[in-house]
Amino acid sequence: MAASALSADPVVLDASLYPEDCVRSAVAAYQPYAEVAIEQREGPKLLVRIRSKAPASDHTVRREFLNYVLDLSLRQHLAGD
Amino acid sequence: MNAPEASAKLDLQRLLPEGAVTRFDDGALRITLQLTVYELQAVFRAAYWLTEKAYVYLSRSSDDRLEVTLIAKSGDTSATDQLGWKFLDDLVDHQLRVTLHRETANVRDMIVAQAFMDVDAIQSASAHSTDVQSAEPPEAIRRWQPAP
């Protein structure tokens, strides 16, 4: 089987799971470490392209970005509790 | 038990129902969950605790299905399997918490409201209930007599 979504480029983020403002915040926060941009919107999905600026591989930076945006999204989802 | 045996014992894909788990070439596991069983809040909470040791990605395959893709930060396959099991255990725990949170919401709201009230709402509710019990019973009940 091919590589997982954790290795995919661009990363596809569903807005019902990752709210757009969280994705935008994460993109801004990652600017010092990577070239990150929301490349395209396909309906409720955002396509985010990430290229590492540091010696770390693109995979590692991409995965750290995904954990970071998950953390932001979790806070927003649970804020209403 | 040697390493391959231990690894086989943990293999999520082999041990869970067909289609529930997919393993990818990069070592990641994708676990498919029914949102009718596990709510999004529970999935988020369980995924959050996993991010210390794994990379996690969430996606929707349909309205009622959620996919959780994870890989151990170490990249080790058996570590990924172990974290997959831990995620599933945590998920049950968090789903129970979400359910209990919802079921006890009224009691919690009443206790919080009581904390900010001048009068004792719980006590006065109880007094009201005692008054009702001691009040004269309705005519139909007063006339009723047990069978001889």
Whole-number pLDDT of residue A4: 83
pLDDT above 70 (res B137): no
Please give, rounded to a whole number of angstroms, the shortest distance from the CA of B136 to a CA of chain A. Answer: 45
Q: Which of B26, B40, B41 sits opposite A7 (nearest CB)?
A: B26
Is there a domain that residue A30 lies in?
yes
What φ, ψ does residue A3 adopt, rounded to 5°?
A: -70, 155
Contact B12, B84 (CB under 8 A): yes
| Pairing outcome for strands A34-42 and B54-62 | unpaired
Residue A67 lies in a domain: yes
CA-wise closest residue to B66 among B75, B57, B76: B57
Query: Using one digit for the tens of pLDDT, what is the confidence trace for B73-97?
Result: 998 888 999 999 999 999 999 999 9
User: H-type helices in chain B, by residue range?
Assistant: 3-10, 12-15, 40-50, 77-103, 105-115, 121-134, 139-143
Residue A39 included in any domain: yes
pLDDT tens profile B93-118: 999 999 999 999 888 888 888 888 77
pLDDT at B68 > cutoff 90: yes
Q: How many residues does chain B have?
A: 148
Instruction: List, for residues B24-63, the tens digit of each pLDDT value.
Output: 888 899 999 999 999 999 999 999 999 999 999 999 988 8
Assigned domain for A6 exists? no
Give the total number of structural domains in chain A. Answer: 1
Q: What pLDDT does residue B14 have? A: 76
How many beta-carbon pairs below 8 A join chains A and B? 76
User: For B25, which of A1, A66, A73 is closest by C-beta distance?
Assistant: A1
Element (H, E) at A14: strand A11-14
Interface contact B60, partner A, CB < 8 A: yes
Top pLDDT among B38 and B9 is at: B38
| A42 occurs within a structural domain | yes
Nearest to B59 among A7, A14, A78 (CB): A14
ipTM for the predicted complex: 0.90
Residues 92-121 of chain B with CB under 8 A from chain A are 101
Q: How far is A14 from chain B (nearest CA, A)?
A: 6
Whether A5 is covered by a domain: the verdict is no
Give the length of chain A.
Answer: 81
pLDDT beyond 70 at B8: no
Residue B142 confidence class, pLDDT cut points 50, 70, 90 = low
How far apart are the C-alpha atoms of A60 and B70, rounded to whole Å? 13
pTM: 0.77
Residue ranges making up the domain that contains A72: 11-79
